C-alpha cells in the first residue's frame, strides 16, 4: 500500500506527512516542484501539476502500489472539470480510496469542491470528504505580513463568528480516514472548540504577543485585489470573497451548532501561545 498525497507540500500536507512517517506508512508526494521538498522527502516526490495533464500519470509511473489518495482541490472555480480526468485515471490505476479536502461551506453536490465531493462519493470506491472551517494557521500564513508590518488583519467577514480549527486536528481526522481498515464513506465537518469573531481572535493574539492587533473590515473590492496579489485568478478571488462572506452571514456559526460534527481540541489561545515567536518583531 502506498498513499499518494496530492497537495502534500501545503499547510495540511506537511502535517500529514509527519503522521504517516511516524506510523511507518509508505507515501509519495505529488508536487509542482518536487525538487524543493525537504531533503528527507526528496526521494518521495514526483512532479504533478493540475494545469499540466502530461504530469497526470507521473505518480503511477513512480509507484505502481498507490491505492489511496489524499486530495487537495485544484485552484479553480470549476474544480471538477480539471480534476475529473485525473480522478478517473487514478481509479483505473488501482486507487481504491480517496480522502478529499473540501470546506465546511461546500455541501455535497454544491459548487466548486461540492461537485468534486459528489463525484467521488458516487464512484463506488472508498472515500471520505473533510469539510473543515477556517484554519487557525491563516494567522501564520495569509495574515502573517499584515500582522507583523501593519498590526492588523483585514477580512470581509465583518462581525461574523467562526469556529477556527487547527490543521493538526484536521490532519488527525485525515490520517484515520486514510489508514482505518473500515472506510468512513462520509463527509466530516471539522470545527474548532469555540466560536469567535475575528475581532475577538485578534484581541486574544494581542494579549499573547503584547502588541495591539486589529481586525479591519475590508470592502469586497479591496478583498479581490488582496487575493489577486497572491497570483490568484480573478474568478477564483471572487469565489473566495463569497466563501468569506459565509462567515459574515452566519453560515459558519451554523456549522458549529450542527449535529455529527468533529470538534478539534486546539483552542486559539493555545495556538497563539505555541506559535508566539512568529509574530514577535525582531
50 pLDDT more than 90: yes
The mean pLDDT of 139-155, rounded to a whole number, is: 96
- Looking at residue 227, its pLDDT comes to 84
**pLDDT of amino acid 240:** 87
The pLDDT score that the predictor gives to residue 233 is 87
Q: Is the pLDDT of residue 42 over 80?
A: no
3-state per-residue secondary structure call for the chain: CEEEEECCCCHHHHHHHHHHHHCCCCEEEEECCHHHCCHHHHHHEEECCCCCHHHCCHHHHHCCCEEEEEEECCCCCCHHHHHHHHHHHHHHCCCCEEEEECCCCCCCCCCCHHHHHHHHHCCCCEEEEEEECCEHHHHHCCCHHHHHHHCEEEECCCCCEECCECHHHHHHHHHHHHHCCCCCCCEEEEECCCCEEHHHHHHHHHHHHCCCCEEEECCHHHHHHHHHCCCCCHHHHHHHHHHHHHHHCCHHHHHHHCCCCEECCCCHHHHHHHCHHHHCCC
* pLDDT for position 43: 84
Tell me the average pLDDT across 142-149. 95
pLDDT bucket at 167, cuts 50 / 70 / 90:
very high
Q: What is the pLDDT of residue 231?
A: 85
pLDDT tens-digit series, residues 60-94: 999 999 999 999 999 888 999 999 999 999 999 99
Amino acid at each position: 500500500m502506498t498513499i499518494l498525497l496530492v497537495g502534500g507540500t501545503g499547510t495540511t500536507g506537511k502535517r500529514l506527512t509527519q503522521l504517516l512517517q511516524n506510523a511507518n506508512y509508505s507515501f509519495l508526494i505529488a508536487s509542482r516542484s518536487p525538487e524543493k521538498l525537504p531533503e528527507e522527502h526528496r526521494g518521495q516526490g514526483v512532479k504533478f501539476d493540475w494545469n499540466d495533464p502530461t504530469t497526470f500519470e507521473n505518480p503511477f509511473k513512480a509507484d505502481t502500489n498507490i491505492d489511496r489518495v489524499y486530495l487537495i482541490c485544484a485552484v479553480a472555480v470549476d474544480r471538477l472539470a480539471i480534476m475529473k480526468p485525473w480522478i478517473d485515471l487514478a481509479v483505473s490505476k488501482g486507487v481504491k480510496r480517496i480522502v478529499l479536502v473540501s470546506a465546511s461551506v461546500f455541501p455535497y453536490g454544491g459548487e466548486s469542491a461540492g461537485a468534486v465531493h459528489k463525484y467521488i462519493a458516487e464512484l463506488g470506491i472508498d472515500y471520505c470528504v473533510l469539510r473543515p472551517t477556517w484554519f487557525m494557521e491563516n494567522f501564520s500564513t495569509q495574515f502573517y505580513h499584515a500582522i507583523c508590518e501593519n498590526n492588523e488583519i483585514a477580512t470581509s467577514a465583518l462581525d461574523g463568528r467562526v469556529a477556527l480549527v487547527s490543521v493538526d486536528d484536521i490532519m488527525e481526522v485525515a490520517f484515520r480516514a486514510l489508514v482505518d481498515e473500515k472506510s468512513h464513506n462520509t463527509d466530516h465537518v471539522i470545527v474548532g472548540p469555540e466560536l469567535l469573531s475575528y475581532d475577538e481572535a485578534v484581541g486574544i493574539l494581542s494579549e499573547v504577543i503584547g502588541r495591539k492587533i486589529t481586525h479591519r473590515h475590508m470592502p469586497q473590492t479591496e478583498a479581490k485585489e488582496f487575493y489577486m496579489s497572491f497570483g490568484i485568478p480573478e474568478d477564483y478571488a471572487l469565489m473566495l470573497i463569497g466563501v468569506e462572506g459565509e462567515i459574515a452571514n452566519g453560515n459558519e456559526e451554523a456549522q458549529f451548532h450542527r449535529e455529527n460534527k468533529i470538534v478539534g481540541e486546539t483552542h486559539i489561545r493555545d495556538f497563539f501561545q505555541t506559535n508566539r515567536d512568529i509574530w514577535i518583531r525582531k
